[in-house]
């Protein structure tokens, strides 16, 4: 891809973090560069670096200021940025996630359908018909922000957020879809729920899906939902 002339840029974020910015728009191309760079930083095992956090357009690189100085981390990151001109094959691992749509599992499915002038069945067909890149995790541990949602089912978030949303709920907000990994408040339009455990503090890794991977949803019925739930952590 071709980056804007002033990107990527390196910005200090406090005295123990460098922010590497690849753009200012949400797009799969920009996020591709974000994920590729984040992977290279992790693979390089730079001295003093303690955490690498990719987001839509940026990578935050945290380091121990007692172990390494600000300028040396800057120089190392600059060198890795220069290597990005040599592209590597990039293919997102796709997780297939079962979802029970509508009813008590997706109380806003009818609203999303009415808002877009289509049937509930068509919302499900469209939602399960795409592969969604995981742009970033945030908000709560393991919350997946997914791109590439079809314009046929875009819907604004709720004006009054719910105080309690069940873990595994699948929602839509604007141009994005996502999964609530734990019970939490939230304002996204809920269209379904997955029986899979997206986040588990006692599991390694804690999160089922990582930034840089992808998700494809498929529909299941209520009986299948409870059967998968009964079987424990019924991963893909």
Segment 200-221 shows an average pLDDT of 93
Segment 43-57 shows an average pLDDT of 94
Residues 60, 221: Cα–Cα separation, whole Å: 40
pTM to 2 decimal places:
0.86
pLDDT of residue 236: 52
- Residues 127-186 have pLDDT tens digits of 999 999 999 998 899 999 999 999 999 999 999 999 999 999 999 999 999 999 999 999
Segment 180-199 shows an average pLDDT of 97
Structure tokens at 121: 């069945």
pLDDT of residue 232: 64
pLDDT of residue 6: 81
Which residue, of 56, 83, 110, is where some domain finishes?
83
pLDDT of residue 4: 47
DSSP letter string, the chain: ----TT-SEEEE-TTSEEEEE--SS--HHHHHHHHHHHHHHHHHT-TTEEEEEE-SSEEEEEE-TTTS-HHHHHHHHHHHHHHTTS-----PPEEEEEEEESTTT-TTHHHHHHHHTS-HHHHHHHHTTS-EEEEEE-SSTT-EEE----GGG-BPPPSS-EEEE-TTEEEEEBTEEEE--SSEEE-SEEEEE--S-SB-TTSSSSBSS-TT-EEEEEEE-HHHHHHHHHTSS---
Let me know whether 190 and 78 are in one domain: no
Number of domains in the chain: 2
**Average pLDDT score, the chain:** 92
pLDDT of residue 192: 98
Let me know whether 63 and 114 are in one domain: no
- Residues 57-97 have pLDDT tens digits of 999 999 999 999 999 999 999 999 988 765 666 778 999 99
- Residue 140: give its domain's CATH number: 2.40.100.10
Segment 178-207 shows an average pLDDT of 95
Question: Percent of the chain, pLDDT > 70?
Answer: 94
Is 119 inside any structural domain?
A: yes
Structure tokens at 207: 């999160």
Which residue, of 41, 57, 83, is where some domain finishes?
83
Per the CB < 8 A criterion, the answer to whether 59 and 38 are in contact is yes
Let me know whether 57 and 137 are in one domain: no
Question: Percent of the chain, pLDDT > 90?
Answer: 81
Let me know whether 199 and 110 are in one domain: yes
Let me know whether 209 and 141 are in one domain: yes
Domain holding 129, by residue range, is 94-230
Is 156 inside any structural domain?
A: yes
Is 2 inside any structural domain?
A: no
Question: Between 120 and 87, whose confidence is greater?
Answer: 120
Segment 105-114 shows an average pLDDT of 98
Res. 2 pLDDT band, cuts 50 70 90: very low
Residues 70, 194: Cα–Cα separation, whole Å: 43
Among the ranges given (80-84, 124-128, 219-223, 232-236), the one the predictor scored with the smallest mean pLDDT: 232-236
Q: Looking at the predicted structure, is the pLDDT value of residue 5 above 90?
A: no
Let me know whether 98 and 212 are in one domain: yes
- Residue 50: give its domain's CATH number: 3.30.1360.40
Which residue, of 83, 107, 123, is where some domain finishes?
83
pLDDT of residue 3: 46
Question: What separation in angstroms does the CA of 132 have from each of 128, 143, 179, 217?
Answer: 10, 14, 12, 9
Is 3 inside any structural domain?
A: no
Is 188 inside any structural domain?
A: yes
pLDDT of residue 83: 84
Let me know whether 18 and 62 are in one domain: yes
Let me know whether 65 and 100 are in one domain: no
């Amino acid at each position: 891809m071709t980056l804007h002339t002033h990107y990527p840029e390196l910005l200090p974020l406090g005295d123990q973090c460098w922010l590497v910015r690849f753009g200012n728009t949400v797009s799969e191309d920009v996020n591709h560069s974000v994920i590729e760079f984040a992977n290279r930083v992790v693979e390089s095992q730079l001295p003093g670096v303690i955490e690498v956090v990719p987001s839509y357009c940026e990578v935050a690189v945290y380091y121990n200021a007692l172990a390494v100085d600000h300028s040396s981390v800057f120089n190392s990151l600059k060198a890795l940025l220069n290597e990005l001109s040599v592209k590597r094959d990039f293919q997102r691992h796709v997780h297939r996630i079962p979802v029970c749509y509508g009813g008590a599992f997706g109380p806003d499915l009818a609203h999303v359908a009415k808002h877009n002038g289509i049937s509930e069945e068509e919302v499900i067909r469209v939602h399960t018909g795409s592969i969604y890149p995981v742009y970033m995790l945030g908000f709560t541990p393991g919350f997946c922000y997914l791109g590439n949602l079809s314009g046929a089912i875009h819907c604004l978030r709720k004006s009054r957020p719910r105080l309690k949303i069940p873990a595994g709920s699948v929602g839509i907000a604007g141009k994005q879809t996502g999964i609530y990994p734990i019970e939490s408040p939230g304002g996204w339009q809920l269209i379904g729920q997955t029986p899979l455990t997206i986040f588990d503090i006692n599991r390694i890794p804690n999160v089922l899906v990582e930034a840089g991977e992808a998700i494809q949803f498929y529909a299941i019925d209520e009986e299948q939902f409870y059967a998968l739930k009964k079987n424990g952590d019924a991963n893909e």
